[in-house]
Structures are given as structure tokens and as C-alpha cells.
Structure 1
Amino acid sequence: MASAGPSTHERSPGCQCDDSYSIYMIGCSKYPDSDTVGGPMQRYDMGERQWKKVDRPLPGGKRYNFAVTTVRNTIWVLGGATGVLDSILKSVFVYDPVRNEWEGEKAMIHCKQGLCAAFIENRVYAILDICRKYGNTVEVYYKGMWVPSSPMRHRRHSFATAVAEYQIYAAGGIWNGEELMSVEYYSPLTFSWTVLSLRMPEPRAYFQLAVIGDKMYAVGGDAYQSIKSIDSMYTDGQWSTGAVHISHYLRNVVSVALNKDIYVVGWIFGHHDEGQLRILQLGDASTSLVANLPREIRFNGARLAVLKMQPFEAE
């Protein structure tokens, strides 16, 4: 398959890029101000350092405010909403990169948008039910069934989740119009949520959590202003501001962690037709790699996922 567009690279000798992985971007929009996102997925090929179009659009048409998680090298897309008023979804679709196909999975109990998802201990968790007035509900998928699980302690939306040390962390977000600093975690052993006494250093919403080794990183944020710092929480519960900062030119960032790097995608501020993938090497203030997004990629409400193995490629 030919490249989806030109790219530029600035790579440092210490880049930890692993050519056996690909980054998938789900939910691209042609217009940055569009209410809905959809169309073909895009895949960043680590070996060729190029974006490629995956000619398998998400079933069910365009959607936004959905959740993405990876389950045994497949991508799960949960819930979301369409451009039609009150058209909130409870559908679940699974993408297999080997067969390059989507399959429908059993729908969730409730329609959800603005949710987060996580996979741990052979279970998929759908966290939050925004159509029930920013609730704190949780559903879990296990052995072919969705069942209710313990709700979060704090109500929030536009928050971030991550799996670390066999626990699901939920941090930040918005409630009653206020950005939050609180962090809580769910233990599949006790089936309960616990609020951490130590909050994040600053309020964050519309951001990402990335886990590398024994550290969890809060990346970006776009509440009242763009947050450039990347804060890390060590396993002993202490937060610190990392040496790496996201360029102030990037807004609405999404990110994933791979090996010792954080991959950040966002819009170049002030240029609605331009976006970048930045690979940030932790512990080094320099950017390991910069790749411009192809012009046909219009990043708006997208989600990222990392998969191993080379996917099927149509001729």
C-alpha cells in the first residue's frame, strides 16, 4: 500500500522506536470542526516511518466521544454518539489487524458516550455513562456478557484512564464545570474503587495517561488552556514534572506509550490543516522524532491504539 502522504523526520540517535509495532488512529475527520468523526483508519508504520490508510472504516457510520482499548492485539471501539441529536450508542466493534476486518461484539447494557475503556484480568471495562448526567457507572465484559460493576467514587467526564500494577486508574476530568486533580483506582481483586490521597499537581481534562515501567504519565490536557507539561507518578505515589514538554504548538493531543517513548498526536496550533506525530523520548528534553500528518488526515476526536504484528495490506 502506498504512503498516505509525505512526512518529515527529525530523529535522534537514542530513539527507542520498535519497528514491529504500528500506531492506529481511529476516528479521523476531513474537517477539524466537524461534529462527527469517521472514515478510514490511519496506521503509522514504524518500519517505513509513514502513515498509511487502512481501508476498513468503522462499521455503523461516523461517531465521536467513543472509547478505544486493545485486547490481545485487537482494537475494541465502544459506544460514542452520532451526529444525530440523542443518538447515543451502546455498540461494540472489534478490529483484527491480521484479517483486516471488523466484527460486532455484544452491545453494552447502557448507551454511552464520553466513556473510557480498559482491559485487565481478561475483562473489558466501560467506565462512565455520560448520558446519565455524567454518571460514575462502570460495566464489565466477561465470558460474553456485560454486567454492572462498582461505580467510581467521583463523578467525572473528559478524564483519563490507564492500567498499572493490575489496577485501573482514573484521573482528572471535569465535574460541575470544574477541572479535577483527583485520582482513584479500581482493584479487580476487591471489586472496589479507592481514592488516592495525593492528587495531580494541576487540574487536567481532555488528556491521556501513559504507563511506562513503574511510572504513569499525565500527558497534555486542554481545559482552559493547553497544558504542556508531562507529569509522572511513581509507584510510591509521588508526582513530579517530567523533563519532556509538549510543544505549545500542539493542541487536543492524544497519546500512547511504547517501550520508553510516548507517541503524541495533535494539531499544530493555528494551522487547522496541519498536525504532527511527535515521539518523545523520556528523560531527554529533545524530541526523538517528528512526522507531519498527511494532509488527508484531519485529526478531530481521534483515538490511538498500538498493535504488534504486521496487519493485512491490500494490493
Structure 2
Amino acid sequence: MASSCAFTRKRQVTSSGSMKVSAASSSKSSRKSIESAYSMYMLDSLNISQEQENSFQVYSFRNDEWHAVTEKMNPRRYNFAVASYRDRIWVVGGEIGPISHRQSVNAVVVFNPRSGIWEDCLSMIYRRHSLCAAVLRNYLYAVGGLCDDTALNYVEVWRGQIWETCHSMHFARYRFAVGVGFNRIYAVGSMTPEHTRLSNFEYYSPYLDCWEKREIRCARGGNEFAIAVANEKLYAFVGGRRPRQITVFNPRNPSMIAWTRPIAPFPEHIHSYDVAALNGMVYLVGQKHRESYFASFHPDTMEWTTLTKPLGQDFGLVKIAIIRNTFEG
């Protein structure tokens, strides 16, 4: 894979003056080998133009290239959730119609990378948009959202045949973020029915089918907010007009009663973004100065690396999902 990641090669000078490449180089090579087996799909979920289709692109980690996917969703929809599930890209819920009177939908469509076509799936029980989707233990979950103007705490699960209801969250949430790790789904932050922001979180255990709330301060929700799970920690990427920051929560540390203070700078002027983790790295796709933007964040070094940017510009609100390649190309 011809990656544009610019990691520093650390070297040691031996007594004879020869150079020896340290473990950092082999680690980089191993990371490239693993990442080359994956692709990243990007959809624009909030394009306000009624004449322009949802942007749909795929990034090859192997070739370090973006390509437009010719097969588009029909009809266009907005404010949907995206998940990588069973070697396909799932688009869950959303809104359809003109801006003046959009309607929430319970429709679910699935993109098959092998065939290159969209397939209809059985619809959810509840209509919803501005929701989150998560995959845990080979099941797909639809969490929270809005049904038109009503905030929801409902949770549904797809186990392969039908959608079923799960235990509801303690709080109705929309425009929030989820992270999956440690056999749990973490729902973090949120807008509220009163249009304020929640700064708490809760997590779902499939073994108990219940949500446990944590009344500790964390990053708030909104459009400029995303969560990624890497190296057994939850990373919150907070942008927008609020102080831009990256904070961390370690669920395995029982003495940790709060998210950390900001641990690393967040790139300036980044908006309309989403994040996804792969092999210990976090990838961010969004906009910067009305141009597309793509970068990786290394949690160990706290460094950002700018990568090959997506095609086009002026996205509404990006949604991304990483999927293992099931075909050569």
C-alpha cells in the first residue's frame, strides 16, 4: 500500500557507526499490511442541495486512493446512521423529502461491495433520524434518534431475520455518538428535547439487556462530536464552536470517575466530520475551509497525519465505516 502517512523512522547508531532501524519501522510495516485488507466508505448524510445526490466514496488503504461509487441511494436521504456489518455497508433510518417538510423513515438499505448495488432490508419498528448504529457480538443495533421532532430512547436490534426491541436507554438521545468495546455499547453525550446538551453517558450490556448510566461529566453531543474506540479506550473528538479537544475514558480503570482533561490538540477549522478506528489508529474524514479533509490520529504519540483527501468538497455531514475487503481490487 502506498500510504501518505508520514511516521518518523526512529534509528539507533551502533558503536561501529552503522544504522539500525528500530521497532518503529517494523510496527509501521505491520500496520500497513493489516490496513491493506480494509476499505473505508464515506457517505454525506446532510447534503442540503435537493439536486445533488448523497456523495458516496470508497478509500482503499492498499492504494491510498479515493474512488466515487457510481451506484447511489434512491431515494436520497439525510441524517441517517451508517454501520459496517456482515461485509456490507448498512444505512439505517434517516429523513426524506424537501427541507421544509422532511419526514423520518424506518427504512434500511444495504450496499454490497461485491455486487456494487444497494439492497433493501426489512424496515425498523420505529421511524427515526439523527440516530446511531452499532455492531456488537455480530448483531446490529439502532439507538436513539428523533421521530420527526420527538426524541427517542428506543433501541432495536437486528439479529439476521427481524428487528426486535431491546431495553430502552435512560435518556432520549439524538445527535450523540456511540462506541463499542468491552462487550458494551457506549452512548455518549446528546442533544435533548429542550435543545440543550447532555454531558453524561450510559452503556448497554447485551448479557443483561439493560443500560447503566454514568453521571460523570463527559463530552457533550451535537453535530461536531464523534467517538472512536482504540487501544481499549474511548476517544471523544469534540469540534464546533466549543473548545476543540480530544478526551479519553478508560472503562477498564475502576478508579477512573471522569473523562480526562484534553490530551491532544484537535485540528483547527475541521467540521462535518466522523471518525473510525482501525488497528489502533483513528481516522477522521470531514471538511476544512470548505474542502474535503482526511487525517489519521495516533493515540500513542498524540500526532495527526494528513492523508489523501476525498473527492469533491462542501459536504454536509460525513458518515464513515471501515469494512474488510471480500474481493481483490
Pairwise TM-score range, normalised by the shorter structure: 0.7 to 0.9
Q: In structure 2, which of residues 155, 179, 189 is the aligned counterpart of residue 172 of structure 1?
A: 189
- Structure 1: distance between partners of 2:86 and 2:78: 24
Q: Deviations over 1:87-113 (max 9, x none)?
A: 221111111212222211101112111
Match of 2:315 in 1: 299
The correspondence for 2:214, drawn from 160, 175, 196, is 196
Counterpart pick for 1:34 among 32, 49, 58: 49
1:5 corresponding residue in structure 2: none
1:109 maps to which residue? 125
Structure 2 residue 70 is matched with structure 1 residue 55: yes
Asked whether 1:43 is paired with 2:58, we answer yes
Query: What's the offset of the Cα at 1:234?
Result: 0.8
* Aligned equivalent of 1:118: 134
CA distance in 1, matches of 2:168, 2:183: 18
Determine which structure has greater relative contact order: mean sequence separation of CA pairs < 8 Å that are 6+ residues apart, divided by chain length: 1
Instruction: Provide structure 2 residue ranges, at least 5 long, that are not aligned to the other structure.
Output: 9-23
Match status 1:11 vs 2:6: yes
Task: Report the Cα distance in structure 2 between the residues aligned to 1:154 and 1:226, rounded to whole angstroms.
Answer: 23
Q: Any idea what SS the aligned residue of 1:90 has?
A: coil
CA contact (8 A) 2:39 2:324 kept: yes
Report whether the alignment pairs 1:79 with 2:78: no
Q: Is the 8 A contact 1:204 1:221 kept in 2?
A: no
Please identify, of 98-107 and 284-293, the stretch whose mean Cα deviation from structure 2 is larger: 284-293
- Closer/same/farther in 2, CA of residues 113 and 311 from structure 1, 3 Å limit: farther
2:167 aligned to which of 147, 150, 153: 150
Identical positions, percent: 26
Residue of structure 2 in register with 1:130 after alignment: 146
1:226 Cα shift? Answer: 4.5
Highest CA radius of gyration, 1 or 2? 2
**Aligned residue pairs: how many?**
296
With over 3 angstroms needed to count, the CA separation of the structure-2 counterparts of 1:115 and 1:48, relative to structure 1, is same
Moved more, 185-194 or 298-307: 298-307
Which residue of 69, 74, 78 corresponds with 1:64? 78
The normalised TM-score by structure 2 is 0.82
In structure 2, the residue matched to 1:252 is 272
For residue 129 of structure 1, report the CA deviation from its aligned partner.
4.2
Give the whole-Å Cα distance in 1 for the aligned partners of 2:269 and 2:303: 15
Partner secondary structure for residue 76 of structure 2: coil
Hey, what's the Cα distance between the residues in 2 that align with 1:36 and 1:188?
42
Work out the CA distance in 2 between the residues paired with 1:205 and 1:120. 24
The TM-score, its normalising length taken from structure 1, stands at: 0.85
Asked whether the 8 Å contact 2:45–2:80 carries over to 1, the reply is: no
- Go from structure 1 to structure 2 and tell me whether the alpha carbon gap of 1:216 and 1:35 turns closer, same or farther (over 3 Å shift): farther
| Consecutive unaligned residues in structure 1, runs of 5 or more | 1-7
Q: 2:235 aligns with which of 217, 221, 237?
A: 217
